[in-house]
A and B are shown apart, each in its own frame.
Chain A
Amino acid sequence: MEWRGLHKAFGRKVAVDHIDLTVPTGSFFGLVGPNGAGKTTSLAMATGLLRPDGGSVHIFGVDVWREPARAKALIGVLPDGMSLPERLTGREVLSYLGALHRLDRALVAERVQELLDVLELTEADGTLVVDYSTGMRKKIGLASALLHAPRLLVLDEPFEAVDPVSATTIKSILTRFVAGGGSVIFSSHVMATVEQLCDRIAVISKGQVRAAGPMAEVRAGDDLEQRFVELVDGQDRGAEGLTWLAS
């Protein structure tokens, strides 16, 4: 996946400032940055969900904004705050989405069953999505991204609001996916997770890339969290002020 000069402004605020980024095929790519850095905005533009003001995105050579339908067929997306049909069970949502991907009915049934089993969503079978917890919604979103067996996964905060057991499951699914030749790019602000999973990383802040490349290179011998704070020139302000808190 290639981003070239990707740009987006909301009114006067520049959310993504001419970002260039390459996610090589086969990489496990982490996109990190502080709140409001432009992670969600850039991922939405990269997946054909939000029209950029400028720049281009190519996925396996397909221009996302020239041929959105062709590009979307190649990727599995977990968007930020994924919107799901509320009045259906998780199994129904996945089954219909599979059919809408024009997958064979028996194949869909088989894959949905497997995904529900692996993600431990089987007990949620008789429950409507409207009654799901945030973590369960996220898992259904992830299952819908995997359903059509894409070659690239683009996941916005896949580990947010998921319990540790599910997070471990998701991690091993993604690791297996990459080992099998797939590529993953995901955003997170949990450095430990990114450090554990990714072989490549990009640090973005205020809509710009601060550092990008192989994990070891970006980390430069330092601890990733430390390096991250340095790169986004944030200071640890926790030591000053708030004296009333300790008294």
Chain B
Amino acid sequence: MVGVLISNLSRMKVAVLRHSLHGARLEQLTWGLVFGAAGIAAMLWLSLSDFAVPGLTGDLLAAAFALWGLGWALGPILFTGEDTTLRPEHFRSLPVTARQLAVGLLGASFVGVAGLAAVPSGYITSLRSRPR
């Protein structure tokens, strides 16, 4: 059931994003992309830098990635307002448990600017965060 939830909720998210490709929503989306790209570039730069303290680069990257993750998880909760993508209350009448729905929505949350940006930034972090 969780598989059905994740795949369909992700497809819904794609449809929502497709409908957002105009007007004020497009502007918002573009800023999201610019911000995401800037964040990745900053992390890339950080990963290539070396500091006097050994291991500091990895720690900084990990901290930046944690901050990113925190913003991604808490952002939609703190700044509800305009964002009307997919919310649990849209699916409360479905014959699924709250836990299944939560997992489904978590899966679908990877579809989007923040979710996509998490992949390269996570990879960059992993490059320099290995224990030495």
Binding site for B on A (CB under 8 A): 47-49, 68-73, 77, 79, 83-89, 92, 96-97, 99-102, 128, 130, 144-145
The residues of B that contact A71 with a CB separation of less than 8 Å are 95
B91 interface hit (Cβ, 8 Å): yes
Max count, chain B CB within 10 A of own CB: residue among A72, A86, A87: A87
B93 and A87 contacting across the interface, CB-CB below 8 Å: no
Residues 96-107 of B, flagged 1 when their CB comes within 8 A of A and 0 if not, give 110010000000
Minimum distance in angstroms from B17 CB to a CB of chain A: 8
Max count, chain B CB within 10 A of own CB: residue among A79, A83, A84, A100: A100
| Beta-carbon nearest neighbor of A49 in chain B | B92
The residues of A that contact B9 with a CB separation of less than 8 Å are 100
Among residues 22 to 55 in chain B, which have CB atoms less than 8 Å away from a CB atom of chain A?
25
A85 and B93 contacting across the interface, CB-CB below 8 Å: no
The residues of A that contact B127 with a CB separation of less than 8 Å are none
| Cross-chain contact of A88 among B12, B25, B92, B93 (Cβ < 8 A) | B12
| Cross-chain contact of A100 among B19, B87, B91 (Cβ < 8 A) | B91
Known contacts A99-B4, A100-B5, A128-B19: A85-B90 contact under CB 8 Å: yes
B95 and A87 contacting across the interface, CB-CB below 8 Å: no
Bound Cα distance A72, B89 (Å): 14
The residues of B that contact A102 with a CB separation of less than 8 Å are 1, 4
The residues of A that contact B89 with a CB separation of less than 8 Å are 83
Minimum distance in angstroms from B10 CB to a CB of chain A: 10
B85 and A96 contacting across the interface, CB-CB below 8 Å: no
21 contacts between A and B (CB under 8 A): A49-B93, A69-B95, A69-B96, A69-B97, A72-B93, A77-B93, A79-B92, A83-B87, A83-B89, A83-B90, A85-B87, A86-B84, A87-B20, A87-B85, A89-B19, A92-B15, A97-B94, A99-B4, A100-B4, A100-B94, A102-B4
B95 and A88 contacting across the interface, CB-CB below 8 Å: no
Minimum distance in angstroms from B43 CB to a CB of chain A: 30
| Cross-chain contact of A130 among B11, B84, B94 (Cβ < 8 A) | B84
Minimum distance in angstroms from A153 CB to a CB of chain B: 12
Interface size on B, residues (CB 8 A): 26
Binding site for A on B (CB under 8 A): 1, 4-5, 8-9, 11-12, 15-16, 19-20, 25, 84-87, 89-97, 100
| Cross-chain contact of A101 among B12, B16, B94 (Cβ < 8 A) | B94
B4 and A85 contacting across the interface, CB-CB below 8 Å: no
B95 and A85 contacting across the interface, CB-CB below 8 Å: no
B93 and A47 contacting across the interface, CB-CB below 8 Å: yes
| Cross-chain contact of B16 among A69, A79, A85, A97 (Cβ < 8 A) | A85
Bound Cα distance A72, B112 (Å): 30
Minimum distance in angstroms from A151 CB to a CB of chain B: 13
A99 and B8 contacting across the interface, CB-CB below 8 Å: yes
- Pairs of residues from A and B, 5 with the lowest C-beta to C-beta distance, nearest first: A73-B95, A86-B84, A72-B95, A87-B16, A83-B89
The residues of A that contact B20 with a CB separation of less than 8 Å are 87
| Beta-carbon nearest neighbor of A75 in chain B | B93
Minimum distance in angstroms from B108 CB to a CB of chain A: 11
The residues of A that contact B12 with a CB separation of less than 8 Å are 85, 88, 92, 96
Bound Cα distance A102, B94 (Å): 10
Bound Cα distance A121, B20 (Å): 22
B15 and A88 contacting across the interface, CB-CB below 8 Å: yes
Bound Cα distance A43, B5 (Å): 26
The residues of B that contact A144 with a CB separation of less than 8 Å are 93
Bound Cα distance A217, B90 (Å): 39
B8 and A100 contacting across the interface, CB-CB below 8 Å: yes
